[in-house]
Amino acid sequence: MASNTKSAILAQHRANDDLNTPLLSQVARADSDLAADGMRSPLAERIIAAASAALEDGQTHYVDVPGIGPLRAAVADYLKVSSGANYRQGNIVITAGLQESRFLSIQMIGEQYDSIALPAVVHPGVRKALGVRSRNPRTMPVDPARGYLPSIDAIAETASDGCRLFYLESPSRLSGAAFTAGEVAAISQILADKDAALIWDQGLAPWVDGAYASPAALDSDCARVAAIGEAYSGMGLASWFVGYIAAPEAWVPALQSQKQIMAICTSTASQYAALEADQLYSEARTRQLSLLGGLRADLLSAASQAGLRVVKGGAVNLIALQLSADNMNRLRRVGIDFAAGRLFGAPDLVRLNVNHSTAAALAALS
Amino acid sequence: MSQKKKSGTSLLYQLIGEARGYDDAIIMGRGDPDFDTPPHIVAAAKEAMIHHHNDYSPPQGLLPLRQAIAERVKRVNNIDVDPESEVVVTNGGQEALFLMVLAVTSPGDEMIVPEPNYNTYADSLAFAGGVKVEVQTYAETDFRADPGVVRQLITDKTRSLLLVSPNNPAASVISPSDMREMLDIAIERDLMILADDIYDLFVYDDFQHVSPASLPGGKERALTLNALSKSYSMTGWRLGWIVGPADLMARVAELKAAISGGTSVISQYAGIAALTGPQDAVEMMAEAYRKRRRMVLDALDEMGMQYGMPQGGQFVFADIGFTGLDSAEVAQRMLTEQHVLAYPGSAFSKDRKDYLRMTFLQPEDQLLEGLERMKVVMDNIMAEKK
């Protein structure tokens, strides 16, 4: 017998465009897959050994909701060293990956505010997280000349209109463009002037070659900025789903409580693997930055020769191009998977991950 | 906030935190089996770290795991599902529970929930903006949820019926005839069913577990959750699932993608090994729980506690009303005076201040020691009462 109740649930579901936003895969499926959020990376034997040892030692049970203490401390230390943020262990919640970080921060920090301001171009996971329970999103225009980041004026205007919670990506998940130190200082000033708060997706920060500016570093008493990201990207852990939220202490109880409701804790094997990755990260990241930086420089040169328009960006792990529909189809025809800009809100862009297969994609366009 | 004002999850946090401060604490509250994960499952995880650490997994999970889950729910629960479209892998039973509630609940919708119950159902329902409508159950009738009462509680806002069997914390099992009647009510009144089967392998004496989705007319309106946490001692791996009709499962898959994106592939490969490998460890653990349950019941009898006979699960929900004290106070005294942690009933429901939940998930020697210590506290309380 047909169920009207079920039909009503399904109709509501079909009408929820945000929830039905396609999500990009967490790791590339093949070398020709240049669309994924995470890169395929080798996994160090030491990480395998550490995770295995933890499991053999009986670390197969529930652990603390916000994560194992040593990993929370390691993430706090990493954020201090890499961006000057003042977070401590008590500020950190370990999550089951970046999307859980997005969902928890948007939903639980969002509960404290009337609305949340988003850039018009943002990772589709943000809209998807809002599709579960809307938090009254407001859209800020972006500046194509600044890699599709919102301008400081747009942020200030939104704050002046009364919106007191912002969600920003730096680097942008589409273009790789990051806010400069001057822009970050201006954003921090807006937050202070308007008593506003910020969810700051800095997951791509490890791929910025050079100084990285974080508003968390200017938030001296850790009161306004929650930083989120995937833990130790590039270390072969993309499919292990480990992320973090570094949040003001006043926000942690709500995040922790909702994490308990949603999942109790994050996989112990993933956490012990991430803990070991922390030990190796500095050296491994330096190596990868150099490798990816070299590859990207070659790609920029090839793109220039092919007359392709590259979007201004700073992260070395991706390249964003402005392409015609014909050129997008050419990529599809040669079997190159790319992240479509329309998923982010910029239909004429594509995002390609930087690896040894990216040159083939550009060759198909030349 | 004062200690007495705490309730639900926050009360449990406080007690767990305090228990950590005692080197000799015996934890008889948390639902975490004392057994470590069986070695062949750990070995499969190590193998996956070497060969599959970069594998892509769609949000609904690796197909081989979904196939293993489909075989399991057919074998154990008699539910037919298509692994391609009717299974979603989750971060443990907890995420499955959250997703299931979100999948069928819009703000203002009512869900009928037998009480007492696992407090996360209320928390998830609150997140979704739903309204909990309680069906009270009682120790003297072994916490049976009466279908006649369910029928009376249905309004034009009722959208779903939660059926947890065996129940946590009450340990009651819904009989086959009651389950059929519950499903008939759901069909007549066009309700969705949320079935929590997480303790389906732990049913005692002659009681029988039935999944509503296995009954004629059940599958198309039921979402059924389960997990490997309890049956394979895999609480730290965070691996569970939901099965249900393809149309609803498409919604569940979108919600899963929105909330966490996916599930660790290492845990998923471990899950394949658990479901398709040797099952001796599951049988060994089930046998151990049977024996321990008897030990707990004997000790409670000695203490003069009333309880609903635990027909399944890993708990006993005992009535301490004869002490004249609130269960939060009794639990606090057990912890402070004897370093034994039992969960107060008020953590599960505001109406269950007369109950304590105890698990039998400790090694036998610790369990006996814990019960001895509890008896000391209960004797003290009764002596003070005189």
Any B CB within 8 A of A52 CB: yes
Which of A297-311, B18-32, B105-119 has the weakest average pLDDT? B18-32
Residue A285 lies in a domain: yes
**Contact: B238, A265; criterion CB under 8 Å:** yes
Copy the structure tokens of residue A125: 């996971």
**Apex A191 CA angle, A190 and A195, nearest 5:** 120
Q: Which CA distances in Å does B78 have to B64, B183, B220, B230?
A: 20, 16, 14, 20
Which domain covers residue A207, as residue numbers? 1-360
CB B126 within 8 A of CB B167: no
Pairing of strands A116-119, A137-140: parallel
Map residue B132 onto helix, strand or coil: strand
Task: Encode burial over B183-204: b for 16+ CB neighbours within 10 A, e otherwise.
Answer: bebbbebbbbbbbbbbbbbbbb
Residue A70 lies in a domain: yes
Asked whether residue A22 carries a pLDDT value surpassing 50, the answer given is: yes
Q: Does the structure's ipTM exceed the value 0.85? A: yes
- Distance from B110 to chain A by nearest Cα, in Å? 12
Which of B5-14, B190-199, B269-278 has the weakest average pLDDT? B5-14
Pairing of strands A225-230, A197-201: parallel
Chain B residues whose CB is inside 8 A of the A264 CB are 92, 94, 235, 238
pLDDT, average across residues B78-89: 98
Work out the pLDDT band at B376, boundaries 50, 70, 90.
Answer: very high
Asked whether residue B9 carries a pLDDT value surpassing 80, the answer given is: no
pLDDT, average across residues B136-146: 92
CA-based torsion, A153, A158, A163, A165: positive or negative: negative
Question: What pLDDT does residue B12 have?
Answer: 81
CB B62 within 8 A of CB B268: yes
pLDDT, average across residues A290-294: 96
Any B CB within 8 A of A48 CB: yes
Chain A residues whose CB is inside 8 A of the B33 CB are 61
**Contact: B127, A133; criterion CB under 8 Å:** yes
Map residue A104 onto helix, strand or coil: helix
CB interface of A with B, residues 106-165, below 8 Å? 125, 128-129, 131-133
**Contact: B237, A3; criterion CB under 8 Å:** no
Question: What pLDDT does residue A29 have?
Answer: 87
Chain A residues whose CB is inside 8 A of the B55 CB are 27, 239
CB A200 within 8 A of CB A226: yes
- Distance from A190 to chain B by nearest Cα, in Å? 30
Copy the structure tokens of residue B32: 């975490």
Residue A248 lies in a domain: yes
Mean pLDDT score of chain A: 95
Give the global pTM: 0.95
Asked whether residue B6 carries a pLDDT value surpassing 70, the answer given is: no
Q: What is the 3-state secondary structure (H, E, C) of A272-332?
A: HHHHHHHHHHHHHHHHHHHHHHHHHHHHHHHHHHCCCEECCCCECCEEEEECCHHHHHHHH
Chain B residues whose CB is inside 8 A of the A23 CB are 59, 257-258, 261
Any B CB within 8 A of A26 CB: yes
Residue A365 lies in a domain: no
Closest CA to A152 of A114, A203, A193: A193
**Contact: B258, A129; criterion CB under 8 Å:** yes
pLDDT, average across residues B29-36: 89
Question: What pLDDT does residue B91 have?
Answer: 98
Point out which residues pair with A228 in neighbouring strands: A201, A245
**Contact: B220, A267; criterion CB under 8 Å:** no
**Contact: B251, A133; criterion CB under 8 Å:** no
- Count of domains in chain A? 1
Chain B residues whose CB is inside 8 A of the A98 CB are 261
**Contact: A26, B56; criterion CB under 8 Å:** yes
- Neighbouring residues of B73: CB distance < 8 A, sequence distance ≥ 6: B79, B81, B211, B224, B226, B243
Chain A residues whose CB is inside 8 A of the B129 CB are 133
Tell which wins on pLDDT, A31 or B296: B296
B48-67 pLDDT tens trace: 999 998 899 999 999 999 99
Residue A242 lies in a domain: yes
CB B239 within 8 A of CB B92: yes
Asked whether residue A31 carries a pLDDT value surpassing 80, the answer given is: no
Copy the structure tokens of residue B262: 């996916």
CB B55 within 8 A of CB B62: yes
Any B CB within 8 A of A28 CB: yes
Question: What pLDDT does residue B102 have?
Answer: 98
**Apex B282 CA angle, B277 and B283, nearest 5:** 115
Question: What pLDDT does residue B2 have?
Answer: 35
Work out the pLDDT band at B3, boundaries 50, 70, 90.
Answer: very low
Question: What pLDDT does residue B4 have?
Answer: 40
Residue A205 lies in a domain: yes
Mean pLDDT score of chain B: 94
Work out the pLDDT band at A269, boundaries 50, 70, 90.
Answer: very high
Domains annotated on chain B, with CATH: 2-31+281-385 (3.90.1150.10), 39-276 (3.40.640.10)
Any A CB within 8 A of B54 CB: yes
Task: Encode burial over B121-155: b for 16+ CB neighbours within 10 A, e otherwise.
Answer: bbbbbebbebbebbbebebeebbbbbbeebeeebe
- Distance from A344 to chain B by nearest Cα, in Å? 15
C-alpha to C-alpha distance for A304 and A319, rounded to whole angstroms = 13
CB interface of B with A, residues 34-53, below 8 Å? 36-37, 42, 45-46, 49-50, 52-53
The residue whose two tokens read 């852990």 is A237
Candidate from B54, B59, B258 with C-beta closest to A40: B54
pLDDT, average across residues A97-120: 97
Candidate from B36, B56, B258 with C-beta closest to A103: B258
Residue A95 lies in a domain: yes
pLDDT, average across residues B251-265: 97
Closest residue in B to A99 (Cα) is: B260
Neighbours of A48 (CB within 10 A): 18
C-alpha to C-alpha distance for B352 and B288, rounded to whole angstroms = 29
Cα A56 vs. chain centroid, distance in angstroms?
32
Cβ-based contacts under 8 A for chains A and B: 208
Work out the pLDDT band at B199, boundaries 50, 70, 90.
Answer: very high
pLDDT, average across residues B195-221: 96
B26 phi, psi to nearest 5 deg: -115, 120
Work out the pLDDT band at B140, boundaries 50, 70, 90.
Answer: confident
Question: What pLDDT does residue B1 have?
Answer: 31
CATH of the domain at A275: 3.40.640.10
C-alpha to C-alpha distance for B292 and B305, rounded to whole angstroms = 17
Asked whether residue B8 carries a pLDDT value surpassing 70, the answer given is: no
Torsion angle in degrees (nearest 10) through CA of A192, A193, A199, A203 = -70
**Contact: A29, B259; criterion CB under 8 Å:** no
Residue A366 lies in a domain: no
C-alpha to C-alpha distance for B378 and B363, rounded to whole angstroms = 22
Question: What pLDDT does residue A1 have?
Answer: 65
